[in-house]
Amino acid sequence: MKIMKIYLIACTALLHNIALCACAGEVRIVAHRGASQDAPENTLPAFQLAWEHGADAIEGDFHLTKDGHVVCIHDKNTKRVCDENLVVSEARLDELRKLDVGAGHSKAFKRTAIPTIAEVFASVPEQKMIYVEIKCGPEIIPALLEEIKKSGLQNEQIIVICFHEKVIQELKAKAPNIKASWLSGFKKDRAGNIAPSLQTVLTTLKRIKADGFSSSKDLIDEAFVEGVKESGFEYHVWTVDDVATARRFKEWGAKSITTNVPEVMRKALNKDGAALDMSKPFK
Angle at alpha carbon of residue 58, lines to 124 and 144, rounded to 5°: 70
The Cα-based distances of 246 to 58, 203, 234 in angstroms read 17, 27, 17
Query: What's the confidence (pLDDT) of residue 21?
Result: 36
pLDDT tens digits, 241-274? 999 999 999 999 999 999 999 999 999 997 655 5
Dump pLDDT digits (tens) for 60-112: 999 999 999 999 999 999 999 999 999 999 999 999 999 999 999 999 999 99
Closest by Cα among 170, 104, 177 to 136: 170
Q: What is the pLDDT of residue 89?
A: 98
pLDDT at 94: 98
Domain encompassing residue 261: 32-273
| Contact assessment for residue 160 and residue 179, using Cβ atoms and an 8 Å cutoff | yes
Does a structural domain hold residue 266? yes
Tell me if 19 is assigned to some domain: no
| CB 110 within 8 Å of CB 102 | yes
- Ranking 18-32, 126-140, 155-169 by mean pLDDT, the lowest is 18-32
Is pLDDT at 5 greater than 50 in this prediction?
Answer: no
62: in domain? yes
pLDDT at 114 over 90: yes
pLDDT of residue 231: 98
pLDDT at 273: 57
Mean pLDDT rounded to a whole number for the chain: 90
Query: Residue 17 pLDDT more than 50?
Result: no
Judge whether residue 215 has pLDDT over 90. yes
pTM: 0.88
The verdict on residue 196 lying in a domain is: yes
Give helix 165-174 / helix 198-208 axis angle, nearest 10°.
30
In a domain, 3, yes or no: no
**Per-residue pLDDT at 15 exceeds 50:** no
122: CATH = 3.20.20.190
Are the CB atoms for 45 and 39 separated by under 8 Å? yes
User: 121 in a domain, yes or no?
Assistant: yes
Q: Give 182's strand partners.
A: 162, 213
| Integer CA distances (angstroms), 255 to 103, 206, 246, in order | 35, 19, 12
Higher pLDDT among residues 208 and 11, named by residue: 208
Does residue 252 lie in a domain region?
yes
Residue 26 binned pLDDT confidence (cut-offs 50, 70, 90): confident
Mean pLDDT, range 230-237, rounded to an integer: 98
pLDDT of residue 270: 73
Neighbours of 146 (CB within 10 A): 12
Whether 248 maps to a domain, the answer reads yes
- pLDDT score of 16 more than 90: no
> What is the tally of structural domains in the chain?
1
CB atoms within 10 A of CB 124: 19
Between the alpha carbon of residue 258 and those of residues 32, 34, 96, 157, the distances in Å are: 6, 10, 27, 16
